[in-house]
A and B are shown apart, each in its own frame.
Chain A
Amino acid sequence: MLQKIKIPMMVPAFTITLFLTLRKAFMVYDVNLSLTKGGPYNTTELISMHVYNEAFLNQNMGPGQAKAFLLFILVAVIAVAQVAVLKKKEVDAI
């Protein structure tokens, strides 16, 4: 009963929450900086910190912007795919 009725009716909430959370998760910079600063020898460097270091610390604006553009394409593909899949599963209230 739980998964046949309650969860399908909660799907709109899942759609928007998952969309916003995924978007924010890919942009995390300050938590990464304050917890590990890139970790021992760049092992915990997340993607946002990688772009920042590449563009501003190494002063390689060109490759840095290219990486940022690839990040945009990745986030766009994931977000659009996720919204499309969940919109199909939405059930109208009877």
Chain B
Amino acid sequence: MVSLAIRNLVVRRAGVGVVEQVSFSADGGALIGIVGPNGAGKSTLVQALLGLVASTGDILLDGQPLGRRSRAQIARTIAYLPQGQSLHWPLSVDRLVALGRLPHLAPLSRMTTEDRAAVDRAMATADVTALATRTATELSGGERARVLLARALAVEAPALIVDEPLASLDPAHQMRVMEILRDQAKRGVLVIAVLHDLGLAARHCDRLMMIDRGRLVADGTPDTVLTPERLRETYGIRAWFGSAANVPLIVPIARATSRHD
């Protein structure tokens, strides 16, 4: 199982700290949600974990500094689904999902039967097998989001980082995606998901990390992280906490008037 250890991670953009002194460690087999308001630095944090943005501090992947690994090695270890992924060419769905196998291919070699099987598994898991020959740029937002998730799943990496995988999905598919992530974690994958739906995050994640203005302000089980006080402090909202049929519910009621002042 993969292990990730982060110490004093700092990301600066044009001299301004976007991620400040974040430290945590995580092992395979867990579904970890990253929550926090817009612009808190969640996406930048996960990009830093992948080595996609320059950072200072330590990122240890299986005990080894991330910087010592080649891009291809990182790609085989951590699959990544960016936020709002754009598609530049009208590829068919199966070609697009097959891109997930690139990190595994030796130069100038073709996809093996195992690669094809991984693509088929990923498409079946994300429920997009029926779309295989459709053009990815002509799909609905929800279909497209699932196809892109299948692309990330096709890597079959020991770690999976997904940035807002639920955007543009209807409630049924939101739940389906959370179940897929849950299931990946059950199989030993380290899943880190940036989420905005606090209810789904509370319900499905083993652990939540709350980011506010670049800092990790809370890290623990969902019930210890998502408290009325903290939601007021970070999001500036008052929320109603409840449960129905053992499902935790968090419903924002109003914007608190005094977040920053």
A and B physically associate: no
Listed in ascending order, the chain A residues whose CB lies under 8 Å from chain B are none
Listed in ascending order, the chain B residues whose CB lies under 8 Å from chain A are none
